[in-house]
Amino acid sequence: MMSFKFVKQAKIVKTDDFSSVFNLRKRIASPHLVVRYKPNILDRPRLGLIVGKKTAKLAVWRNYMKRVLRELFRLNQYQLPCLDLVIQVQKPFKKTDFLQVKQEFDHLLLKLSSKTPTVHARIVAS
């Protein structure tokens, strides 16, 4: 049985890791989100989130956006190839925009799978 936990190894935390993704300059965008990506040599995709103060002044809303994106990643992580993803929020969203953001996220993942050459869903042996 697959575990859908969001483990610590699935996070991008170090500045060097963020910088390496930004330096590669591969990105796809939607109205709310920008996804920058880079292949990694690990056996799992990793996620880094950026929600700036210019996007949402209150920490409550920045944290909400991060929570939503982390959850969407957690549910889809086994369909992703081994990539480092840095998701940046361009336009703030609230609870009323959740379905739209979810659709954008799914569309970006679909777009991402068509752009990356090694885009076969990983099969997890139980």
CB 95 within 8 A of CB 30: no
pLDDT attached to residue 105: 94
Q: How many CA atoms lie within 13 A of 56 on its CB side?
A: 19
For the chain, 126 residues long, the average pLDDT of each consecutive 10-residue run is 71 88 90 92 90 95 95 89 92 94 93 69 41
Q: What is the pTM of this model?
A: 0.84
Does the domain made of 12-111 have the CATH classification 3.30.70.260?
no
pLDDT attached to residue 62: 96
C-alpha–C-alpha distance, residues 92 and 98, integer Å? 11
